[in-house]
A and B are shown apart, each in its own frame.
Chain A
Amino acid sequence: MSGITGYSVYIPRHRLSREAIAAAWATKAPSGSKAVAHFDEDSLTLGHAAAAPLASGVEALYFASTTAPYWQRSAASLIAACCDLPAEVATADFGGSLRCGATALRAALDTGKRAVVVASDTRQGAPESAEEMLFGDAAAAIAVGPDPGIAELVAAVSRSDDFPDEWRRDTDAYVQSFTSKFSTARGYEANVVAAGRALLEQAGLEPARIARVALVSPDGRAHLGAALALGIPAGRIEDPRLADVGITGAAMPLLLLAQALDRASAGDYILVIGYGDGADAMLFRAVRNGDRRLAPDPHGIPYPSYQIYRKLRDYLRLRVGGAEVSNVLWEREETQNVRLHGTRCPRCGLVQFPIARVCSACRNAEGLVEQPLARRGRVFTFTKDFLYEAPIQPTVMAVVDLDGGGRFLCQMTDVDAGGVEIGMEVELVLRRMRESAASHHYYWKCRRI
């Protein structure tokens, strides 16, 4: 019996209030804020942040997104490398439909392998559109495998439906849609209700037995009608987080499932339904009480204005430059720069980065051992630099002493520069550093824990 062995959610720390968007366009604002990927984040880095806590020892890593940074280069494989997974890990990238997150989850459950499935999206609404108000950025990961300690899979169904209500061509920057009552009824509602009913029938359950429903919502409202049509009482529907995160695309079914698992009691039936060109629906039964640790993040950092948000969104895209990194250098330094390995001296025990042939402390050159470095540590020293060209100043540069050894230099991100202190605890996070003419460039930054 396969099922869920772990869950993790990553919501970027920055927020844009809908009032700020409305002020920019001199229009009325729906309430709340949306979570926005910072200028150095994208779907891949969000995905890494969500997947990393669950990735240890998995046999497969699946990545699902409608906004993957590459058309051809596997985000799953890069995330797997950043999680220091071995070459034997099965990676796959899912996309093409808004339900790809749910599809990937079902596919992973079907394999029976120990896998982490991460869904991540950073969808852009066109300036001044309803999507711009609604869409938020987030990633969520679900770990699956045999001997599930959290919830076991009871039933799963899929539906395919080529109905054009929302789409994006290979040439489109923004989502295209027919927004109408007809779209919602014929597309979203028809599919999720049919999938939900099929699932309940397969499991032989009355709707009233469902304790929690992780039902994606295209707009923060339509899911209520669909749940009603399924006969599920309103109190059991997961809040789609429109108010503080937004409509999170491919990430949404996994985000809501993680939320449901977090609050579940042992024995609860949990229904998850993803929608897009059909539906994928799964029914789980919780085998233990949830951890109740996914409280909404109170530490969101608001962008001061819509203009700042626009500047940050476009910053890397508009500043293409700098050298390409040859695949020769990439390959030779992969364990160091991507997998964050350093070297330990067998004679004196010193751990150092980058990978070294000779020990910095005792100059021993015999038998230095490569080893993974901890991704947490404390600020040893830092500066706040206003000379470095960056979209937000200052750029905080930090020298970090990693737990268990090794000293690292990196930028600090998601940071209030005024609060940085020597001794502060930080974690290393994968971020997008810059754009060259042919590539995105990722590297590590640190942020306050």
Chain B
Amino acid sequence: MPESIKDKVAILGVGCTKFGENFDQSFEDLVVDAAYAAFADARIEPERVEAAWLGTFSPYAGHGKASVSLADALRLYGKPISRVENYCATGTDAFRNAAMAVASGMHDVVLVLGAEKLRDRPIRGLSWEGGHPYQHDGLTAPGVFALAANRYFYRFGGGREALAKVAVKNHHNGSLNPKAHFQMEVSEEQVLEAPIVAWPFGLFDCCPTTDGAAAAILCRADMARQFRDDYVLVKGLGLAVTSGRPWYDPTFEYVGFTATQAAAKQAYTMAGVRDPCKEIDLAEVHDCFTWTEISNYEDLGFCRKGEGAHFIAEGRSKLEGDLPVNPSGGLKSFGHPIGASGVRMIYEVVTQLRAEAGPRQVRDAELGLVHNLGGPGAVACVVILGNQ
């Protein structure tokens, strides 16, 4: 029986930049802003950091490739730094690696930082470096998830109306969040009438292309009280990988993501969560596209497969619902700078557990879940955080 990480690692502090089209900020600006916000929140000097993990997905213009991007931005030299890349689950996987290093006793205080400067690039959407030169020609990020959404609707019925409810909810939550990329409400009609990007996804079903960075300072749980009383504890971690080319896998049903199901199971077991819908107080999940959030409800065990549309329609994932999902506004509204997103979700859950979320505060938040999903639903990371 493997040892659980539960209660061995504490989050001392978190930091996050404003997400959006940060045209006046460089990659280094984002890194410095997020890191120093986290240092201040954790009440530590930068020198206290013994090791660091950088999460970036897509290097560009000399930034984001290897550990040096973090070392140079912070002038953090002579220490162990690793760059983590694991598709869109990059941020949470960087966090996971840092947490394991602390739990092992190898380091006392470490930094995790995710950053991405997508809007510097001359292209729309995401580029896919290292892809096959022609096997996937025609496939875009929304297209990848649309393949699953269309099969899902074929199996379980429903359609764009269910998706629109996710967009409306997450835009509402984002409108309460001063750091979100979008801070405006949208109506169901607006969502349904928007131009189609990749059927069944219209413009408001897709997360934006965003700049941003987020950071967290972790330390051994048994020394956390030296820094602050209201630290947050890591209760469970899970990471699961399935096929990065599900379109070739004849055994894949294409109605949800087994990677999420497996990662959630790992994390729930470690955290001792038996009934996630009852025990989890809030969740930040990977809503890269509105349908992904619906599938996440099911894959994370909040409801049964095929019932995600009811879960949103009944308002259960709203801020005032019994399991608020994406109180931050989610990727949909907060934005999705790939490598930053997972760490940003951790920032949000920590903020909620410390009851510092202002108008979007979830009542009585004690146990929060973070879920990151990468590639074509192939890499899932689940982190469960809790108050002491």
Which residues of A approach B to under 8 Å, CB–CB? 322-323, 325, 329, 337, 350-354, 360-361, 380-388, 390, 394-395, 397, 399, 401, 405-411, 422, 433-434, 441, 443
- Report yes or no: B196 in contact with A325, Cβ–Cβ below 8 A: no
Across-interface contacts of A361 in B (CB, < 8 A): 250-251
Measured in the bound complex, the distance between the Cα atoms of B298 and A194 in whole Å is: 78
Task: Provide the B126-143 mask, 1 if CB < 8 A to any CB of A, else 0.
Answer: 000000011111111011
Whether B137 lies near A384 (C-beta < 8 A) is no
Q: How far is the CA of A411 from the CA of B134 in the complex (A)?
A: 11
Name the interface residues of B312-349: CB closer than 8 Å to any CB of A.
none
Q: In the complex, A397 Cα to B250 Cα: how many Å?
A: 17
Stretch from B89-97, B148-156, B213-221 that touches the partner: B148-156
Within 8 Å of chain A (Cβ to Cβ): is B288? no
**Cross-chain contact A353 with B151 (CB below 8 angstroms):** no
Are A395 and B250 in touch, CB under 8 angstroms? Answer: no
Closest residue to B136 on the A side, CB-wise? A409
Q: Cβ of B142 and Cβ of A387 under 8 Å apart? A: yes
Chain B residues, Cβ within 8 Å of A360: 243, 249-251
Q: Are B196 and A384 in contact (CB under 8 A)?
A: yes
- Cβ contacts under 8 Å, B125 to chain A: 387
Q: 8 Å CB contacts to A: which residues of B150-171?
A: 150-151, 154
User: Are B250 and A401 in contact, with the CB atoms below 8 A?
Assistant: yes
Q: Do B247 and A407 touch (CB < 8 A)?
A: yes
Indicate the size class of the contact surface on chain B.
Answer: 20 to 34
Instruction: State A325–B149 Cα separation when bound (angstroms).
Output: 33
Residue of B at shortest CB range from A324? B133
Please provide the 9 A-B residue pairs with the shortest distance between their CB atoms, ordered closest to farther.
Answer: A383-B146, A409-B247, A381-B151, A384-B199, A385-B198, A411-B138, A385-B143, A387-B140, A407-B250
Q: Does B195 contact A (CB under 8 A)?
A: yes
Residues 216-251 of chain B: 1 if any A CB is under 8 Å from the residue's CB, otherwise 0? Answer: 000000000000000000000000000101011111
- Indicate whether A323 sits within 8 Å of B133 (C-beta atoms), given known contacts A360-B249, A399-B254, A422-B150: yes
Given A337-B135, A411-B138, check contact A381 B195 (CB 8 Å). Answer: no
A433 to B135, CA, bound (A): 10
Q: Are B134 and A397 in contact (CB under 8 A)?
A: no
Q: In the complex the two chains form, is A397's CB within 8 Å of B151's CB?
A: no
Per a CB cutoff under 8 Å, which of B124, B137, B146, B248 touches A443? B137
Known interface pairs A384-B199, A386-B197, A433-B137; A353-B142 also in contact (CB < 8 Å): no
A352-B250, A411-B138 given; name 19 further pairs at CB < 8 Å.
A325-B133, A325-B134, A337-B135, A350-B251, A351-B250, A360-B243, A361-B251, A380-B151, A381-B151, A383-B149, A383-B150, A385-B198, A387-B198, A388-B143, A394-B196, A399-B147, A410-B138, A433-B137, A441-B134
Instruction: Indicate with 1 or 0, residue by residue over B238-279, a CB within 8 angstroms of chain A CB atoms.
Output: 000001010111110010000000000000000000000000
Do A383 and B147 form a contact, CB below 8 Å, given A337-B135, A399-B254? yes
Cross-chain contact A381 with B147 (CB below 8 angstroms)? yes
Cα separation A238 to B241 with both chains bound (whole Å): 62
CB contact between A386 and one of B149, B154, B198, B248 (< 8 Å): that residue: B198
Distance A409 CA – B143 CA, assembled complex (angstroms): 12
6 inter-chain pairs at a CB distance below 8 angstroms, sorted by A residue, are A350-B250, A390-B138, A397-B138, A407-B247, A409-B139, A443-B135
Q: Which of B142, B146, B248, B254 has the most CB of A within 10 A?
A: B248
A441 to B137, CA, bound (A): 11
Choice from B133, B151, B198 contacting A384 with Cβ under 8 Å: B198
The answer to whether B154 touches A411 (Cβ under 8 A) is no
Q: How far is the CA of A388 from the CA of B125 in the complex (A)?
A: 10
Q: Which residue of A lies closest to B196 (CB)?
A: A386
Cβ contacts B58-102/A at 8 Å (1 or 0 each):
000000000000000000000000000000000000000000000
> Would A422 and B151 be within 8 Å (CB), given that A361-B251, A380-B254 are in contact?
yes
Give the distance to chain A from B135, nearest Cβ to Cβ, in Å.
7
Which residue of chain B lies nearest to A351 when distances are taken between CB atoms in the complex? B250
Chain B residues, Cβ within 8 Å of A443: 134-135, 137
Closest residue of chain B to A383 (Cβ to Cβ) is B146
Contact of A382 among B124, B147, B196 (CB under 8 A): B147
Are A409 and B198 interface neighbours, CB within 8 A? no
Which residue of A323, A325, A409, A422 has the most chain B CB atoms within 10 A of its CB atom? A409
The smallest beta-carbon distance between A413 and chain B, in angstroms, is: 10
Q: How far, in whole Å, are A353 and B136 apart by their CA atoms in the complex? A: 13
A385 and B146 CA atoms in complex are apart in Å by 9
| B248 & A354 in contact (Cβ 8 Å cutoff) | yes
Residues of chain A within 8 A (CB-CB) of B136 are: 409
Which chain B residues (195-216) contact chain A, with CB distance < 8 Å? 195-199
Closest Cβ–Cβ distance, residue B151 to chain A (whole Å): 4
Residues of B within 8 A of A329 (CB): 133
Separation of A325 and B195 alpha carbons in the complex (Å): 35
Report how far A433 CA is from B151 CA in the complex, Å: 26
| Given known A401-B250, A411-B138, contact A383–B133 (CB-CB < 8 A) | no
Closest Cβ of chain B to A430, distance in Å, is: 12
> With the chains together, A433 CA to B251 CA distance in Å?
28
Taking each of B137, B142, B251, which has the highest tally of chain A beta carbons within 10 Å of its own beta carbon?
A: B137
Q: How far is the CA of A397 from the CA of B144 in the complex (A)?
A: 9
Shortest distance from the beta carbon of A203 to any chain B beta carbon, whole Å: 50
State whether A387 touches B124 (Cβ < 8 A).
yes
- Least Cβ distance of A21 to chain B in Å? 30
Contacts of B146 in A (CB 8 A): 383, 385
Q: Quick one: closest A residue to B250, CB to CB?
A: A407
Which residues of chain A have C-beta atoms less than 8 A from B124's C-beta?
387
Q: How many angstroms between the C-alpha atoms of A29 and B282 in the bound complex?
A: 69
Which among B149, B195, B199, B248 is the interface contact of A353 at CB below 8 angstroms?
A: B248
Contact call A387/B250, Cβ cutoff below 8 A: no
Point out the residue from B134, B135, B142 that lies within 8 Å of A385, measured CB to CB: B142
- Would you give the shortest CB distance from B169 to chain A, in whole angstroms? 24
Write the nearest CB–CB distance from A373 to chain B, whole angstroms. 11
User: What CA separation (Å) do A411 and B124 show in the bound complex?
Assistant: 20
**Residues of A contacting B134 with CB < 8 Å?**
325, 337, 433-434, 441, 443
| CB closest residue in chain B, given A410 | B138
Determine if A441 and B133 form an interchain contact, defined as CB atoms under 8 angstroms apart: yes
- Whether A388 and B138, one on each chain, are in contact in the complex, defined by CB atoms closer than 8 angstroms, is yes
A residues near B138, Cβ cutoff 8 Å: 385, 388, 390, 395, 397, 410-411
- Taken together as a complex, chains A and B put the C-alpha atoms of A354 and B140 apart, in Å, by 20
Least Cβ distance of B178 to chain A in Å?
30
A386 close to B250 (CB less than 8 A): no
Q: Are A407 and B249 in contact (CB under 8 A)?
A: yes
